[in-house]
Structure 1
Amino acid sequence: MMSTGGLITRATTPPVTTPRDPAREAAERELSEPLYHANDPSLLQRALDRFWEAVGALFERASGATPGGTLGLLAVLAVTVLAAAALWWRLGTPRRAATGADVLFGDRTRTAADHRATADAHAAAGRWTEAVQERMRAVVRSLEERTLLDPRPGRTADEAAAEAARSLPDHATALRAAARAFDDVTYGGRTADADTYARLRALDLTLDRAKPLLTGPTA
């Protein structure tokens, strides 16, 4: 009798399946473990990377719109920098525009003697910038007291020097230099020194004794 040794079908266990959403959540929890992020860049590094990516994209767009591409853009930037440097060298540090009504003097009216005393006190303490400012104010106030200048609020040091030179033409150059020194330390951000103050003090004393040209300079 022949054996029917046919194939024996073995029962198999069906695979375990997990729904999609729980599987995703489990994977996210697993990947959030610190072990997987030990070498991740810091928050600052990621921010810098994004910044430079944006700069690079901007540069690419600019170079694409510039004749010559990247080289053309670099040439334009170089010319712009050189032009700005030349303008800065030509004009110097921008001066602060005067906005107050009294440019040379403050609100309180003081005599030339008061300004001289304050200037000498600043000089004795080594505060040369303040000393130069006060000595220039003494020069102008003295000319006003001698009626060589009309008292006028808002007058600048340059205007005072130009007006005073009409009756004191022999001292026109020194007056312009004094006004320039005042402007440099007041608006130009420069620092005065003992020599600058000594020149203004000498000019003040000289002008105090100078005889004006009452009829004005001849043409």
Structure 2
Amino acid sequence: MTGPGGTTAAVRLIRAGEDIPVDTPRVPAREAAQDELSDPRYHEHDPNLLERGLDRFWDWVGDLFAGAAGAAPGGPLGLVVLVLAVAGLGAALWWRLGTPRRTLRAPQTLLGGTTRSTADHRAAAAAHAEARRWTEAVQERMRALVRSLEDRTVLDPRPGRTADEAAAEAGRLMPAHSARLRAAARVFDDVTYGGRTADEAAYLTLCTLDLDLEAAKPSLTTGTIHGTAG
């Protein structure tokens, strides 16, 4: 052959005959490499689908924190302080409000139509308090308080009465204690229907109110009962 192209082709043929590697076109070479790399032995140690997903997730989390650290005052240290502050606020709210209930229940009657006496409710409250079950102790002491008012005819016996109704009715007859009665009814509702947890202080406050109401003397002339507000 003559010309540059012919000369090059001749040289390649001669080299091929001399067992010298032959030039391979680009496309067939790429296909051959892909076939070779598709061999399973080259992929024995590749991460599986879950590992690849986790790697992408942690890469995303890292990018997210890096962006937040860049935007937060003080850089990464400021971001750490901000996260700790938010966590502390959440813990404080959880401790203050107690464990939330998933479902809300309709308000129920205070005594539920039971015939237990004041002494029975007080004994049950004391037993719960001894076991440090403050929520149940508060509930039973509130029932004892209302039952005591019914026994003394300050309130007319009514099974369907709620804690709020009892506090409102008794507060009109004993205005010196009306605020404490409303507070006691609110605590009862919070621990019974709102999912909050009572503590020893709430129980002792209710015990004091119960005893103060029992010591209050009725006034036959005014139709009200007098006593120290406490």
Is contact 2:163-2:189 (8 Å) kept? no
2:158 alignment partner AA: P
Q: CA RMSD in A?
A: 4.9
SS in 1 for 2:155: coil
1:131-170 equivalent positions in 2, closer than 5 A: 131-144=137-150, 146=153, 148=155, 151=158, 153=160, 155-157=162-164, 159-170=165-176
Is contact 2:141-2:206 (8 Å) kept? yes
Is contact 1:118-1:131 (8 Å) kept? no
Once residues 201 and 59 of structure 1 are traced to their aligned partners in structure 2, the CA distance between those partners, rounded to angstroms, is 52
1:77-92 equivalent positions in 2, closer than 5 A: 85=89
Once residues 98 and 211 of structure 1 are traced to their aligned partners in structure 2, the CA distance between those partners, rounded to angstroms, is 39
1:100 is matched with 106
1:203-218 equivalent positions in 2, closer than 5 A: 203-208=209-214, 210-212=216-218, 215=223
1:66 is matched with none
Report whether the alignment pairs 1:70 with 2:83: no
When residues 216 and 26 of structure 1 are mapped into structure 2, their CA distance, relative to the original with a 3 A threshold, is same
1:1-219 equivalent positions in 2, closer than 5 A: 11-12=17-18, 24-29=34-39, 32-34=42-44, 37=45, 46-55=52-61, 70=71, 85=89, 93=97, 99-102=105-108, 104-105=109-110, 108-111=112-115, 113=117, 116-124=119-127, 126=131, 127-144=133-150, 146=153, 148=155, 151=158, 153=160, 155-157=162-164, 159-183=165-189, 185-186=191-192, 187=194, 189-193=196-200, 196-208=202-214, 210-212=216-218, 215=223
- Deviations along 1:117-169, one digit per CA (max 9) or x if unpaired, are 14413523523321221110222244345252673747344x53233111012
Per the normalisation by structure 1, the TM-score is 0.55
Q: 1:48 Cα deviation (Å)?
A: 3.5
- Deviations along 1:156-204, one digit per CA (max 9) or x if unpaired, are 44x53233111012333442443354345443633332x6545434533
Long gaps (5+) in structure 1: 1-8, 63-68
Once residues 33 and 98 of structure 1 are traced to their aligned partners in structure 2, the CA distance between those partners, rounded to angstroms, is 55
When residues 116 and 202 of structure 1 are mapped into structure 2, their CA distance, relative to the original with a 3 A threshold, is farther
After superposing the two structures, state which structure 1 stretch, 17-26 or 117-126, moved more.
17-26
Identity of aligned residues (%): 41
Long gaps (5+) in structure 2: 1-13, 226-230
How many correspondences in the alignment? 191
Is contact 1:116-1:138 (8 Å) kept? yes
SS in 2 for 1:109: coil
